[in-house]
Amino acid sequence: METYQILALIGILAFMYFLLFKNKKSAQKEINSLNEIEYYGSSNVLFNDVAGNYEAKDSLLEIVDFIKNPEKYNKFNVRMPKGVLLYGSPGTGKTLMAKALAGEAGVPFYAVSGSDFVQVYAGLGAGRIRALFKKAKKSQKSVIFIDEIDAIGKKRMGGNLRGSDEGDRTLNALLTEMSGFKDSGTIVIAATNRIDTLDEALLRPGRFDRQIEIMLPDKDARKDIINLYLSQKKCEDDINIEKIADLTVYFSGAMIENLINEAALLAIREGHDKINIENIENAYLNVLAGKEQKNPIENKKQKIVTSYHEAGHAFVSKYLMPENKIIRVSVIPTSKGAGGYTLSTPNSTEVITKSKIKNQLSVLIAGRVAEEVFFGKDNITIGAQNDIEKSTSLAIDYIAKYGMDENMGFLNAEVLSNKLNVSLTSIENSVKSLIDELYDEVMHIIMTNKDKIDAIAKLLIEKEVLYEDDLVIK
Ligand code: ADP
Ligand code: ZN
């Protein structure tokens, strides 16, 4: 199961009303990709700096020993992996882990990112790979790190058919370089969050034949990460780590690090000398939902529609998934361009079932349906934009990846279309009928509970922020 989709299960249902704040970053990235391609140096990161990921660390410890004492393995004619692929969601510490490997082994660390190889001039990609290995070989022992390997190692289309030549040349250069060096204390670590798209040639023996999944931290690992970053900063003694770990379900290590950093910034801004629990809770809302504006421009109509929209989300969420916790429902505009939001966390992350995904879809749909019920079909707003994006994407996965739809059945759409080279309009139809069916169900729930939702919305208009206890609905 992929985590992007699971991520959708922490419900952040925002009522969007600015549409303009997007797409700033990509231009910047392209400019950077032409210079600053190789970074190398030694790493002072150690395994102690990486919290959680216990199995991965164990597996890498063996490689540390191999880099330090290759003779020990050569003597027994044991072939050690030349390449290790770390795969898993972004921000789970793959780069950190590779650095720690170099740090523990005490060898230089050479890093490139696959995304820097995209759209380079003909031949340049392959040349860069060769240059990288040449440089690394000078230090005898080293760790070479290739981030986002999927950008150069995408599946080549249809077996022997050559796809994009430039990409292939880069990939071939990498494969050649990897075959070219003997067990000598050089190890290539690659990272990706899309192992499914990698060319099989990369995963063969002698290439990245050891594959280690780096997962999102479970609760214990989250506690470790929270402790690690809190211990580097000053904080009050009474901070409830357990509670923060519960709030941060589906957070990556990077997100937790960022959360603690934001909390520290808030503490400083408020003139404390230690981080307190409120700083962490506020930082949590800021990173997930955006900063709530202190003095938003008063927009009565906006606030009323938003209140009904969010009341729809909140009610249907409580109605279908009473076990989940509503952290906060707010109709204060945020810095992320939302007019309001409903934030909930799942109470269990153990299994994602078909009915959980359907419920999640229903909750996403509920904001728009509430608008329609209370203001009429013609007065629905653009506030559901984000909900629609999320629900479409989740519905596609439900059908095309998880094989949960009766019409589509036990089929993976991507494989189908890759192998048969067909476009699948039937998926589009299935997605549409799933959403339509749920839309009707949500409509029914909202119609039959109109008075309760009305009460929640009125309370929201009055108080602006509601919590779990304010939503007594049964
Ligand atoms: P990835 O390469 O998987 O995208 P990174 O290694 O770049 O993730 O993680 C970014 C940052 O997030 C790290 O520099 C570190 O500050 C923090 N981080 C992520 N995972 C962990 C972890 N397991 N333990 C400690 N810090 C982590
Ligand atoms: Zn919404």
Ligand 1 contact, 192 CB (< 6 A) = no
Ligand 1 contact, 53 CB (< 6 A) = yes
The residue whose C-alpha atom lies closest to atom 7 belonging to ligand 1 is 95
Least distant ligand from the CA of 389: 2
The residue whose C-alpha atom lies closest to atom 6 belonging to ligand 1 is 93
Helix (H, G, I), strand (E, B) or coil at 356: helix
Give the C-alpha distances (Å, rounded to integers) separating 432 from 169, 272, 355, 384, 385.
41, 52, 18, 17, 16
Tell me if 191 sits within 8 A of 98, measured CB to CB: yes
Ligand 1: which atom is nearest the Cα of residue 89?
Answer: 3
From ligand 1's centre to the CA of 62, what distance in Å? Answer: 21
| Residue 245: predicted pLDDT | 94
From ligand 2's centre to the CA of 246, what distance in Å? Answer: 24
* E runs forming strands in 183-288: 186-192, 210-213
Q: Where does residue 106 fall: left (phi above 0), alpha (psi -120 to 50 degrees), or beta otherwise?
A: left
The residue whose C-alpha atom lies closest to atom 11 belonging to ligand 1 is 254
What superfamily in CATH does domain 300-471 come from? Peptidase M41 (1.20.58.760)
Ligand 1 contact, 50 CB (< 6 A) = yes
Ligand 1 contact, 253 CB (< 6 A) = yes
Most ligand 1 atoms within 8 A of CB, residue of 57, 195, 257, 258 to mutate: 257
DSSP label at residue 414: H
Structurally, at CATH architecture level, domain 33-213 sits in: 3-Layer(aba) Sandwich (3.40)
Helix (H, G, I), strand (E, B) or coil at 35: coil
Least distant ligand from the CA of 307: 2
The domain limits of the chain are 33-213, 219-289, 300-471
**Tell me, which fold does domain 219-289 have in CATH?**
Helicase, Ruva Protein; domain 3 (1.10.8)
Tokens 């109605």 found at: 319
| Residue 406: predicted pLDDT | 86
Ligand 1 contact, 113 CB (< 6 A) = no
From ligand 1's centre to the CA of 117, what distance in Å? Answer: 23
Ligand 1 contact, 361 CB (< 6 A) = no
From ligand 1's centre to the CA of 385, what distance in Å? Answer: 31
* E runs forming strands in 216-337: 325-330
Tell me if 281 sits within 8 A of 423, measured CB to CB: no
| Residue 26: predicted pLDDT | 33
From ligand 1's centre to the CA of 272, what distance in Å? Answer: 27
Give the integer Cα–Cα distance in Å for 346 and 359.
12
**Tokens matching residue 429:** 């139809």
Least distant ligand from the CA of 48: 1
From ligand 2's centre to the CA of 13, what distance in Å? Answer: 5
CA nearest to 16, candidates 388, 372, 339: 339
Ligand 1 contact, 92 CB (< 6 A) = yes
Tokens 């191999």 found at: 66
From ligand 1's centre to the CA of 112, what distance in Å? Answer: 17
Least distant ligand from the CA of 89: 1
Ligand 1 contact, 94 CB (< 6 A) = yes
For residue 323, indicate whether it is catalytic: no
Please state the φ and ψ torsions of residue 385, each to the nearest 5 degrees.
Answer: -50, -50
Tokens 């523990």 found at: 104
Ligand 1 contact, 225 CB (< 6 A) = yes
| Residue 156: predicted pLDDT | 66
Ligand 1 contact, 257 CB (< 6 A) = yes
Which is the catalytic residue, given 148, 310, 371, 372?
A: 310
What is the full per-residue pLDDT of the chain (474 aa) written as tens digits? 233 333 334 555 656 554 333 333 333 333 333 333 455 566 789 999 999 888 899 999 999 998 888 888 888 888 778 899 999 999 999 999 999 999 999 999 999 898 887 766 667 788 888 888 888 888 888 999 999 999 888 776 544 444 566 667 888 889 999 887 776 778 999 999 988 889 888 888 889 989 999 999 999 999 999 999 999 998 988 899 999 999 998 899 999 999 999 999 999 999 999 999 999 999 999 998 889 888 777 788 899 999 999 999 999 999 999 988 899 999 999 988 888 999 998 876 668 899 999 999 999 999 999 999 999 999 999 999 999 999 999 999 999 989 999 888 898 887 887 788 766 777 888 999 999 999 999 999 999 999 999 999 999 999 999 999 998 755
From ligand 1's centre to the CA of 92, what distance in Å? Answer: 5
Give the integer Cα–Cα distance in Å for 308 and 420.
46
Most ligand 1 atoms within 8 A of CB, residue of 96, 150, 224, 230 to mutate: 96
| Residue 5: predicted pLDDT | 33
Q: Which letter, b or e, does each residue of 346-377 get, where b requires 16 or more Cβ atoms within 10 Å of its Cβ?
A: beeeeeeeeebbbbbbbbbbbbbbbbbbbeee
CA nearest to 310, candidates 16, 99, 74, 8: 16
